[in-house]
Structures are given as structure tokens and as C-alpha cells.
Amino acid sequence: MFGQSATFLIGPVVSKHFYTAPESELGKEMYKLLIVALFGPNLNTEAAIQLVLKGTRPKMLKCYVPQILTEAQDYFSKWQDCGTVDLVHEFERLITLAIARCLLGRDVREILNERIPALLRDLSGGILPISVLFPYLPIPAHNRRDKARDNLLYIIMNSRKNSPQPEEDFLQTLLEDGDDINSEQISAFILSVLFVGKHTTASTAVWTGAYLLQHKTYFSKVFEEQKELFGRHGLDRF
């Protein structure tokens, strides 16, 4: 392909090689180029690792449960009693809202209107097979990706500047403890959290939902298990 060799790793057995291969077999340079194209040049994942650990410590994770529950109830309350939905679209939308509320706070969640999911879709649309080899090729998909990235970074950077009372959330952890990273790096990292979290969690949720709908016996068991767990932890809003 364009004078370069391409290897496709498909399936759980060979995909393990992607995560364990030495640098001599699987270089990171092309991967880094794609990451920069998606999230900008200020993403510093190494400096943010400790911040991730702080933002996902047990105390914080427990705080997220009621927030996720509220988001889910508010979202599904708008559904009709019967009808047809697109699980991919619905779960991506719901999980984007939940991630924004739990990790990035009320400020980002409240500005997460229809424009934000559209920008995230444009960002996702900039990941094409050709993007791996030529991440800055001037094609419409890349142009939309770059515009969406810049708009999202601007929104995130300005979301908490005028907040009268900051919350104890993942974003505030970054702002207070991120001595080694600046505001541009924080914004790039937040964008990566939104993007990666939405894709991985939504994919899992969609496949789980699809299988449960196909196997009603398991669906009933899972439903009863969730009711029991919610009751055990004092959550009566199931």
C-alpha cells in the first residue's frame, strides 16, 4: 500500500501481539502520529497516568454510581413504552452523557447538547485505514476531524472558567493536582477520555444489550440481579 507493507491483526489470538510486541516489531511512531491528529499535540499520557489513578480511586468510583443512575433514568424516561431504537446510537449518546457527568463534572455535562455528540462523531469519522499511513492527508473526513477537535478542545478549556463552585470530580483532580501539565494538555487529555471511554464502553453495552435481547432467559436473570444489587446498596430508584 503506497510502497509500505501493512499487516492486519484480526481475532483475539493474534491481537495479543499488538499489546506485547517489542518496539523492533511494532513501532509506535505511526500510532503517535494518529493520536496527535485526533487529540492535538498537547496530549501527554505519561504525565497523566497518576492523575488517572487519583480520579478513579474507590472513593471517586462510589460517587459515580448515583450519577450514572440519574443519567440512565433521565435518558430512558424519554423512551416510549414500545417502539424500535438503534442500540448503537442510543448507547453512544447515553454513555457520552454519563462519562461527561462522572469524569468531567456538571459543567461539561450541561453544555453537552446535540452539538457535542456531532463533533465527537466527526472526530471518530477521521479514523480511516488511510489515516494510519497519512493522518494529515487533506481529505474531507480529516478536515472535519480537525475542525471538530479544535472546537471540542475550546469548549472543554472554557467549561469551568466561570464555574462558581467547582465539584469534586475527575476534571477538578486534573486542575488541582496536575502540576506537571498545563491547561492545553489537560484539555487534550479530557478529550481523549471522552473519546476512548465512549467507544469502548458503548461497544460493550451494545453487544451486551444485543445478546440479552436475543436470550430472554439471561435477560430476566440479569434484571433480577440488578434489582437485588441496587436494593443491597440502598438505591431504590431502579
Residue 150, pLDDT above cutoff 70: yes
Contact 55, 103 (CB under 8 A): yes
Q: Are 238 and 230 in contact (CB under 8 A)?
A: yes
Q: What is the CATH number of the domain that holds 144?
A: 1.10.630.10
Is the per-residue pLDDT at 228 higher than 90?
Answer: no
Q: Is residue 13 part of a domain?
A: no
The pLDDT assigned to 70 comes to 85
Q: What pLDDT digit, counting tens, does each position of 63-121 carry?
A: 788 888 888 888 888 888 888 888 888 888 888 888 878 777 776 677 666 677 788 88
Between 123 and 111, the higher pLDDT residue: 123
**Whole-angstrom distance, CA of residue 162 vs CA of residue 199:** 30
Q: Greatest CA span in the chain, whole angstroms?
A: 61
* Residue 4 placed within a domain: no
The share of the chain scoring above pLDDT 90, in percent, equals 5
Lowest mean pLDDT among 65-69, 155-159, 163-167: 163-167
> Domain for residue 6, yes or no?
no
More confident residue, 44 or 192: 192
Q: What is the dihedral of CA 174, 177, 180, 182, to 10 degrees?
A: 40
For 5, 128, 150, the CA distances from 133, given in Å and listed in that order, are: 10, 10, 22
* 11, part of any domain: no
* Within-domain flag for 205: yes
DSSP 172-231: HHHHHH-TTS-HHHHHHHHHHHHHHHHHHHHHHHHHHHHHHHH-HHHHHHHHHHHHHHHH
Kindly report the pTM of this predicted structure.
Answer: 0.67
In a domain, 18, yes or no: no
Distance of CA 142 to the CA centre of its chain: 20
C-alpha cell at 139: 481529505
Residue 21 domain-assigned (yes or no):
no
What are the tens digits of pLDDT across the range 9-30? Answer: 777 777 777 767 776 776 666 6
Domain count, the chain: 1
Domain that includes residue 95, residue range: 28-232
